[in-house]
Amino acid sequence: MSNLPDGRFIDDAPYDPNVDLSALDRTDMDAPNWVLVWRKFKKHRLGLISGIFLFLAYLAIPFAGFFSPYTPNERSAEYLYHPPQAIRFWHEDKFIGPFVYPTEAFADLENYRWTYTTDKTRPMPLLFFCKKSEYNLFGFIPTETHLFCAPEGATVFIFGSDRLGRDVFSRISYGAQLSLTVGLIGITVSFILGIGFGAIAGYFGGWIDWVVNRAIEILRSLPELPLWLALSAAVPSNWGPVSVFFIISIILGLLDWPGLARAVRSKFLSLREEEYVRAAEMMGAKPGRVIRRHLLPNFMSHLIASATLSIPAMILGETALSFLGLGLRAPAVSWGVMLNDAQNLASIEIYPWTAIPMLPIIIVVLAFNFLGDGLRDSLDPYS
Amino acid sequence: MMFVRYAVWRLLTMLLTLAVVSVLVFIIINLPPGDYLSNQIAELRATGQAEGVAKAEFLRAEYALDRPLWQQYLIWVGAIPGPQGFSGLLQGDFGWSFEFDAPVADIVGDALWLTVLVNLAAVLFVYLVALPLGVLAAARSATWVDYTTAFVGYLGLATPNFLLALILFYYGHKYLGLPIGGLMSPEFEGEPMSLAKVQSILIHLIVPTFVIGTSGAAGMMQRLRANMLDELSKPYVETAQAKGLGPTKLLTKYPLRMAFNPFVADIGNLLPAMVSGSVLVSVVLGLQTIGPALLTALKSQDQFLAAFVLMFVALLTLIGTMISDLLLVLLDPRIRYGAREG
């Protein structure tokens, strides 16, 4: 490029009559949509890390039994309210690999609680790939192998033990099975209802739209928790843990759909007028096909992003319900059920480790929030 | 004049909604198989207590629990008279609490206005915290102020309310000497209003308000920040700056007003969340609101009490939403009267 004396700019490159006019200005945009989204999402550090973390967490769910040294309802009657134990590596300045010191319980009859003394002279190395209590890998392969477990005569309570002498760490990893999936099932229910009602209302309009809209308004104006409570109070007490789990997830999803339905509806109202929709209709496509093949794919990704953002509410909902004793019930293990034990001030003061399950809850909820934010920001790669 | 008409119309839709809600509540309450009285009668029969059975059966007849469901509903609402003088919700008869063996009105009593008080305090807290912080975060976006508020906000969103309550209570008591449990010192309970009582209530309100309000404030702050950022990037702000408007006035004169609208409209989303939170926190902290009553009632199928509390909670949010809609119309002349956009 050169600058003429009169201030004009002139391109020095020789004129090429064969230049391809259809070449893109920005070659980095010449890729399928999902590649563009992925490229943009990668730049959202927090979202990426959260996504990887959640992926690993869900991946680890079937192996909960393998990673935990105990089974969730296994009681060590001599170790009630055992404080968290450190896994050490150095004994008297000598490296001897991971080990624990054995502990012994004493009844403190003055304060009526258990105190523990640690015997620091006898390091006891942890066992790896050891055979202990039986559990089901993936839920159906019976096995006895644990990644690590306590040596004979000692315990390994990384996060301490609870009221009944159950290992808090093992219970947290088992609890993840229910606490993490409750949101997924709930969101599926909410997705189906939300897309269904929203699509019908937005596509057909008229009185259907009016009815759905009023339903959405009414449900949105009601406080969720009291309704969740009322609905879960209606679950018969003689149901097994599995059915209770499913019905609770469904209840959580039942009240979440209005927000989604609203988004779907307003999107449909505008998309319905597009030419391609009219074209599809004129070619004889039935409403169901137009909705599924032509309308929904348009903003499915947005729906997924907003779904990611509403999973945390369900996880917190499950926790709250179980905490109040109306959600999942023992012997089922979830983070909310565990927190039910930490319900009073005494346990916060004397046995603070019984409240540890709040950490995974906070982390998972934060991760879902960051992931959702990242997805939402990167879904529009052309901006 | 237009405003009055809009207000009346809005009130009517609210009443209609309330009617639908009452049906919903009634259905939900009657979902569990059996009811309190038939369970009790069966139990009393099994233990052979004849007088108890007679009383329970009297109550059953009195409150028409032996009728078909739709009749029970109409009687409960008060649309048709009950068999023995039970006049129903519309005439201010809230029914009988079987669990506590007293009229529902006596059980809830004080709890009603305490519930309103707790929720009002929480909403006030949300606005007082979210407004300055949201504006500040937007004005100083991408600085430590922004990041800190965002971080604290996220933490507030992610921590389960009830745990936050327990932890704050413990540390508040330990280090600040805040009182534990309840909404007032025990000696004031059932006493008439006095300055000391008000003081006691105010001190007891600190932790609950904070706990209930945090998540709401976090969300509100994020939205206000986003709205403000949108406004601040508009050309008129630049013009104002070029003309030499001071930084405070630059923020508050126009952009804040614009960003404020969604802030008021948001109360419709905020209130249900607040009420949910207050129920949970009340149970954990033993506040004398209707939260604990709801939980006991639901657990023991005490249907009139549970139904009344649910109705009250719904009414609270509906009234709040209505007020926010009316405020919005007053604040923003651009909003059209009549049918709202869904």
The predicted-structure confidence for B153-212, as pLDDT tens digits, reads as follows 888 888 888 888 888 878 887 787 777 666 777 766 666 777 777 888 888 888 888 888
Predicted confidence at residue B340, as pLDDT, reads: 44
Phi, psi for A235 (deg, rounded to 5): -70, 125
The alpha-carbon gap from A162 to the nearest alpha carbon of chain B, in Å, equals 17
Give residue-wise pLDDT tens across range B121-157: 998 898 888 888 888 888 887 788 888 888 888 888 8
Give residue-wise pLDDT tens across range A234-250: 888 788 888 888 888 99
Q: What percent of chain A has pLDDT over 90?
A: 9
Structure tokens at B62: 């009195």
Alpha-carbon distance of A269 to A288, in angstroms, equals: 16
| Residue numbers in B near A361 (CB within 8 A) | 158, 160
Q: Is residue A175 within 8 Å of A337, Cβ to Cβ? A: yes
- Distances in Å between the alpha carbon of A111 and those of A44, A82, A103, A350? 52, 16, 20, 11
Q: What percent of chain B has pLDDT over 90?
A: 1
- Distances in Å between the alpha carbon of A142 and those of A150, A157, A274, B338? 20, 24, 56, 65
Alpha-carbon distance of B2 to A46, in angstroms, equals: 50
CA-wise closest residue to B153 among B246, B218, B68, B239: B218
Summarize the confidence of residues A329-342 as an average pLDDT: 84
Predicted confidence at residue B181, as pLDDT, reads: 66
C-alpha of B193 from chain center: 23
Predicted confidence at residue A27, as pLDDT, reads: 67
Helix (H) or strand (E) holding A170: helix A168-204
Structure tokens at B317: 């949010």
Residue A56: pLDDT over 90: yes
- Comparing alpha-carbon positions, the chain B residue that sits nearest to A363 is B158
C-alpha of B87 from chain center: 27
pTM for this one?
Answer: 0.83
| Residue numbers in B near A218 (CB within 8 A) | 17, 20-21, 24
Q: Which of B27, B276, B300 to mutate to test the interface with A (most CBs of A within 10 A)?
A: B276
Write down the ipTM of this complex: 0.80
Whether A218 sits inside 8 A of B276 (CB atoms) is no
Alpha-carbon distance of B99 to B300, in angstroms, equals: 7
Give residue-wise pLDDT tens across range B228-246: 888 888 888 889 889 988 8
Alpha-carbon distance of B226 to B135, in angstroms, equals: 10
Per-residue confidence at A266, pLDDT binned at 50, 70, 90? confident
**How large is the C-alpha radius of gyration of chain A?**
29
Q: Is residue A103 within 8 Å of A80, Cβ to Cβ? A: no
Summarize the confidence of residues B317-333 as an average pLDDT: 81
Predicted confidence at residue B342, as pLDDT, reads: 38
Structure tokens at B287: 């506040």
- Comparing alpha-carbon positions, the chain B residue that sits nearest to A365 is B158
Q: What percent of chain B has pLDDT over 70?
A: 93
The neighbouring-strand residues paired with A114 are A107
Higher pLDDT, A20 or A294: A294
Whether B314 sits inside 8 A of A223 (CB atoms) is yes
Structure tokens at A264: 């779907």
Greatest C-alpha distance within chain A: 99
Structure tokens at A310: 């509403």
The alpha-carbon gap from A214 to the nearest alpha carbon of chain B, in Å, equals 9
Residue B250: pLDDT over 80: yes
Average pLDDT in chain A: 84
Whether B28 sits inside 8 A of A234 (CB atoms) is yes
- Comparing alpha-carbon positions, the chain B residue that sits nearest to A370 is B154
Whether B280 sits inside 8 A of A225 (CB atoms) is yes
Q: Where would I find the beta strands (DSSP E) of chain B? A: 96-97, 102-103
Per-residue confidence at A307, pLDDT binned at 50, 70, 90? confident
Q: Is residue A365 within 8 Å of B157, Cβ to Cβ? A: yes
